Chains A and B, each alone.
Chain A
Amino acid sequence: GAVVSQHPSRVICKSGTSVKIECRSLDFQATTMFWYRQFPKQSLMLMATSNEGSKATYEQGVEKDKFLINHASLTLSTLTVASAHPEDSSFYICSARQGVPLNSPLHFGNGTRLTVT
């Protein structure tokens, strides 16, 4: 089956540093990838949609200068949390669409637990 690899699985950093999270589709090409954020005991909230070769589309209330998304190839999207602060601590999950049609299956990475101290 289709596999999405997300790395790192866990990161602890000091306030003010930047953190990069990678999302790779291992056995399929993903024109579109999505980045979600999940607070404790809450559901997943879409942060942005990442399309290969173009700028990401951010959801309302998500700072694009804070959460930098790059989708440089059909198998890799990265999310960089710039100058992280404790309120950025959360669980970040990426997903990749396997196929172009909007009803194509979405496959998820295992998530990244970010803790900013």
Chain B
Amino acid sequence: KQEVTQIPAALSVPEGENLVLNCSFTDSAIYNLQWFRQDPGKGLTSLLLIQSSQREQTSGRLNASLDKSSGRSTLYIAASQPGDSATYLCAVVSWGSQGNLIFGKGTKLSVKP
């Protein structure tokens, strides 16, 4: 059974710092991996989608990498801003599933001005 783990559970950094969020998954047989942002009491905003054949994706200050064989992904946020404060969720679609996402518990990020 696929399990997704995110470390750390919470992170507080001063504005301007570069930071890395970690995600690991137990079964490397995945179709893709997706990073989301969730603000308190809100829905999900998709940040980056990495297909299993890809190694990384970039969007603005965000860069996500995927090492499928080791079951790891990282989300790199450059020059963090207070507006980046949110919970970041990692999720995978596994082979043999119906295409649903399996989520980690998230990393709650706080960027202090």
In the complex, per-residue mask of B78-109: 1 if CB is within 8 Å of any chain A CB, else 0: 00000000000101010001111111111000
Given the complex, which residues of B lie within 8 Å of A78, measured CB to CB? none
Q: Interface residues of B, CB < 8 Å — how many?
A: 25
Using a CB-CB cutoff of 8 Å, which residues 37-64 of chain B contact chain A? Answer: 41-44, 46, 49, 51-52
Enumerate chain A residues within 8 angstroms of B43, measured Cβ to Cβ: 6, 93, 108-111
Interface of A is mostly: strand
Q: Min CB distance, A39 to chain B, in Å? A: 11
Q: Which residue from A57, A91, A102, A106 sits with its C-beta under 8 Å from B34?
A: A106
A77 contacts partner chain B, Cβ-Cβ < 8 Å: no
CB interface residues, A 73-117, toward B, < 8 Å = 91, 93, 95, 97, 102-111, 113
Contact A111 B34 (CB under 8 A): no
- The reply on B76 being an interface residue by CB < 8 A is no
Name the CB-closest residue of A to B45.
A108
Residues of B within 8 A of A42 (CB): 105
Q: In the complex, A47→B32 CA distance in Å?
A: 21
Chain B interface residues (CB < 8 Å from chain A): 31-32, 34, 36, 41-44, 46, 49, 51-52, 89, 91, 93, 97-106
Query: Nearest 3 pairs between A and B by C-beta?
Result: A110-B43, A103-B31, A102-B99
